[in-house]
Structure 1
Amino acid sequence: MTITTLGRTVPREFRSRETARLFATFADLAEHEREAVIEQIVVLNIQVAHAIARRYQNRGVPVEDLEQVACLALVRAAQRFDHTMDRDFLSYAVPTMTGEVKRYFRDHGWTIRPPRRIQEIQSRVIAEHKQGTVDGRPPTPREIAERLELDIDDVTEALSAAVCFQPISIDQAVEADSMDSLADFLTVDDQGPQDAAEARALLAPVLKKLTRDEVRLLAMTYAQGMTQQQIGEAIGVTQMTISRRLTRIIARLRGELGIDLRAVA
């Protein structure tokens, strides 16, 4: 019996029953005949492989590549499965496919590769963050750290690492309601290194007067390139709160540096 299910939805009960029946025929088959049966088993369960791959779509790796990885893992699982054990095939194949997709995603999905410890916890942290809390707000890094029994600094870094999957486009607006893009602020300047050194020397004593949270907020904005929405989600506050905090911090810095805002305007 040939199973032609590619492109069609197969009921779970039928898939499980038919997969078990096909494996049960192995004892009476020659090696080349078993290969044909394995092909039928793969086609019968291929929708499961695609479903596993789609869990990781829109994260910087084409879903077609992830589906291919999951399907190859499905083939290997079918070839290695011990049909003599009283065990459902997918209870063995699903962890195999998931592990292969995660491994591929870990190795190919990072545009900027964070530390290994952050890579290993990032998916758990993001999943916990998306679940939200009882009142509907995103959980704070501290709440996530307590739930997952992780260090709060690692949780914060893992939340920030979400932008490492795909680089931020220079055509992206600097604010949600702004017509200015990041490209508008990029210039080619041979004085760049010298100006940067002068800026560091000028800002160093002023930045020392800021709190640790204020310095972290500036780093997330200007060093890590995070949007105010992303920072708010990472910290557990609204985008408007982040905007107000940044405005106050920049106003303080300008005041410390003696910059006349009216003259700048």
Structure 2
Amino acid sequence: MVTNIAAYHFTPIDAPQTFAATLRTRAETLSLRGSVLVAGEGLNMFLAGEAEAIAAFLAPLHEDARFAGLRVKYSYSRRAPFARLKVKVKPEIISFRRPGTTPESARAPVVEPRTLARWLEQGHDDTGRRVVMLDTRNAQETEHGTFAGALTLPIDKFTDLPAALAPHRDALKDATVVSFCTGGIRCEKAALWMQADGMDNVLQLDDGILGYFEQVGGFGYEGACFVFDERVALWPDLTPQMDAPADAA
């Protein structure tokens, strides 16, 4: 069984090229496959390999003070969903091109998966406000599944989100808006941008859909969660579509 991890962490990296080279060497030595993105703002990675190799790759990161808050999401598959290893240095670990969306001093407010599940079950948040789930992913991803009744936007890439959201802003003023994405990175940037742009009623789903599946399961979610590898998508029990039939959901 192959261990798959997804993780990101915002932290200043003074020498991205050097850090990326170190991660590449470590991943190659451990025969890991997947993608690693490094930027001055942090690290974003999806890797697959033997459980012991994954643990050996993560150990130095957990010992690095810059990554003290690194949270890793795990799933498993019968075969590696990546053909090779790619390590790249980018201007951002997820391209949004909006200033002030890197959580340098503090994250945007979050809602924990179990709290969100309770809100969805009761139909409102703890103050009585209606909850609107805002999907920050693109149209290809949302076709595979999303939260029931979520606001999905007709976007092809994350940078399209601000313009696509604009027509909906007035209708969201009386709601608690929960931004969500696959693993948390896009909804974290989106929530910070929305907050800076005058929307004070926005939260982010902590750890994204994958974290919700891990902690809650599929309550309130319809379908699967698209992932950018050969697994295609993950069902709420984190079973890959490539390993299980659709009725496994």
Same-fold status (TM-score > 0.5): no
Q: Per residue, is there more strand in 1 or in 2?
A: 2
Higher Cα Rg, which structure: 1
* TM-score bucket of the superposed structures, by smaller chain: under 0.3
**TM-score (normalizing by structure 1):** 0.23
